[in-house]
Chain A
């Protein structure tokens, strides 16, 4: 197979000799494994290596290009923001908040995120990562407005890989609604490989929303590791349709009692888009709750994958864990693969999962048509009902309205 990538640690400026050596070691480890393929259990349904080799001639890493772009703000609702260009923190704006309570700084590479040595993309990230941010919310502070992270990508990143790391810390009893917003109109192929470390301390609440402005020819992989303390809540809403390739790899550790996590996903995939959600929920303590609802609508030659694992430790009695994946397949060339997995070592638990995939319900379609709604409209109604349901639990009305509008736009093919 052709070699379609060429990565060099030297391209990163201002590294100490020790750092450089360490990064070289990680790069060597990456080269040993290469990009993941179907032989790895975590990539059972996706051969990333062959996908990349088909779509790239030579991926390289670069130092930052500073092509400052004007932000296109979302003006549907008031918000704070962080501006990231090619993964680097450019600016932040906390107009609506008490600035002493939140800090946003460049990611400190002294605090490495622990990784799984078998995950070659993590190894690559450790070798090449630059930029990124650390966000910390002080004790008892609840943000007044949501915080949007504008992820912009510059024009000249064709055949380039961007690696970065972020860290988000919510101290005791704090609250934050975060929107990860990718904006890029370039038709050129590029790759983004990021790692995020999230710590949610006692009684804190984090809402993490993923959405894109437009279609993108980017190939995204994001690994999120999160640790939850007592009584904390972590909610995820994934609506990131429109990317050429996207895999979200989410690990949630429910480390103390009464911690709770949810993952809701609504994806409408078109053309040859590929989206994958991989989750690993570790119930490490008793009385914790986890809930996952993954919904996909697949058209054209798109492919959706869900690999979810619930792991219940021996001591995690009274666990309540649920997993549901539902897919509508609208074309014979589209594909949906799922692996909803349970690994359970405690006996007093309530764990279940369900998974369905199939065509749109013909009875419902008939019902709508018999009431004078044209078939195309009826399809759209059913799809938006199917996907929109995942946002029911989101309380922020203005954000919800914005997301539903985006979803509608995706369904109409914008």
Chain B
């Protein structure tokens, strides 16, 4: 038994479940479920109306099917749309009131909320299944006028901000999964940075799916007002189960004049076992609007988990001189599949965007970069640079690149390059010669391959990500 346990932790060390009592919404997707969620969240009527509008829209929408990784049909009536630890039904006022079992969970995940309160300089919002359980460092942030809380809290306390920005980047009727999220989203983070404020610490949310047969639908809304700056981190894990769980989040970013948002993700949902059983379907909509002049949004993602990753964090560059960036590492091993990339829509003048995407494919996996660069007619003097590199390990996997490039302006320039290769044998030989075994050598080379992206991550995350990159590829060589 012990060795078995050890093996499991080696493969996916976050695969445990926490035994806490849950409150669940009735199974299935219906108006009742939505009303239940809205009621339990004590939401005002306008919010419920908004959700119902999305639900009505959903009825006529069709699930998209153009993506490369195909999956069995999801039975939306067989899912729980709300699941919360019973102890959190009354929102805890301080960390002392949180169910110790949940605190223990986060400790196992390496996010000791209690200690973090005192030691580490990162403010954390932890989301357990459908609810936010703890937000740290609130006081210090409040002093600066920064709002960092769960979205449910924001709906109650800052309705004017939520009303103004929610759905302004990802409209209600955007596409199937975004609309589904709009109807049933349960929790997530809300960040507002007031004008001319630099957020003094990294803000971070940790997502955890615990209950079975649950979908997680969180919603994140970040607003950086004029001249402000914020760096936001997101991490995710889930227990090992042999069923596929759906995760359909919406993330909306709004950057006003001269503001900058840096959004980093280390996604490590359960990828399924070696034979492709179980794992998370990660169908996420992430979109940022550079609404103001000179604004900047930067996405960095390290995607190592999930059975299927299907997402395109995008930037809409509306303001003149605005900048969009996308740095991505997507690693797929065993039977994992990824169809990910970005969209850069240039609308304003002198807008710039940069895309660096590194895809690594091993085992029987399929890894795809799909991206759109669209320079519109009015976006004069705009620039885009795209680089996508793919690495293939073994001859059972696939690596694909599908860029869509549209240029409708005579003064704008788009450059795109992509390569697909395997690990250079000379490099491997060089490492072997210096006493590194095959696996270490591969890990070293892969880390070098990813370096450009890893450098973009905040320090604490970079170390974790680097380790993840090595672990994800373990056993894929030889």
A binding-site residues for B, Cβ under 8 Å? 41, 44-45, 314, 317, 327, 329-359
Contacts and interface: CB of A to CB of B under 8 A. Distances in A.
A317 B395 CA distance: 9
Interface in B373-406: 377, 380, 390, 392-406
Nearest to A338: B405
B399 to A, nearest CB: 5
Given A337-B404, A341-B401, A353-B401, A359 B420 contact: no
Main secondary structure of the interface of B (DSSP, over half): strand
Contacts of A351: 419-421
Given A341-B401, A354-B417, A335 B407 contact: yes
Contacts of A45: 406
Interface stretch (B252-260, B340-348, B408-416, B447-455): B408-416
B407 A349 contact: no
B46 interface: no
Interface size of B as a range: 35 or more
Contact of B399 (A44, A337, A344, A356): A344
B392 A344 contact: yes
Contacts of A333: 377
Contacts of A346: 392, 395
Which 9 A/B pairs are nearest by Cβ-Cβ distance?
A358-B413, A347-B392, A357-B407, A355-B416, A352-B419, A342-B401, A338-B405, A335-B408, A351-B420
Contacts of A354: 415-418
Given A344-B398, A347-B392, 17 more contacts: A331-B410, A339-B405, A340-B416, A341-B401, A342-B402, A342-B420, A343-B400, A344-B399, A345-B395, A345-B397, A347-B393, A347-B395, A353-B401, A353-B418, A355-B405, A355-B415, A359-B411
Given A332-B377, A340-B416, A343-B398, A348 B408 contact: no
A305 to B, nearest CB: 10
B422 interface: yes
Q: Is the interface of A mostly helix, strand, loop or mixed?
A: strand
A353 B393 CA distance: 20
B403 A356 contact: no
A337 B401 contact: no
Contact of B413 (A317, A341, A347, A359): A359
Q: Which of A41, A342, A348, A351 has the most CB of B within 10 A?
A: A342
Contact of B400 (A330, A344, A348, A350): A344
A339 B380 contact: no
Contacts of A332: 377, 380, 408-411
28 contacts: A45-B406, A314-B396, A329-B407, A332-B377, A332-B408, A332-B411, A338-B416, A339-B405, A340-B401, A341-B402, A342-B400, A342-B418, A344-B390, A344-B392, A344-B420, A345-B397, A348-B395, A348-B422, A351-B420, A352-B420, A353-B418, A355-B405, A355-B416, A356-B415, A356-B416, A358-B407, A358-B412, A359-B412
Nearest to A311: B400
Contact of B414 (A314, A317, A356): A356
A317 B422 CA distance: 11
Contact of B418 (A331, A334, A352): A352
Contacts of A345: 395, 397-398
Nearest to B380: A332
Interface in B23-82: 66
Contacts of B390: 342, 344
B403 A340 contact: yes
B161 to A, nearest CB: 37
Contacts of A44: 404
B438 to A, nearest CB: 16
B301 to A, nearest CB: 21
Contacts of A329: 407-410, 412
Contacts of B407: 327, 329, 335-337, 357-358
B395 A353 contact: no
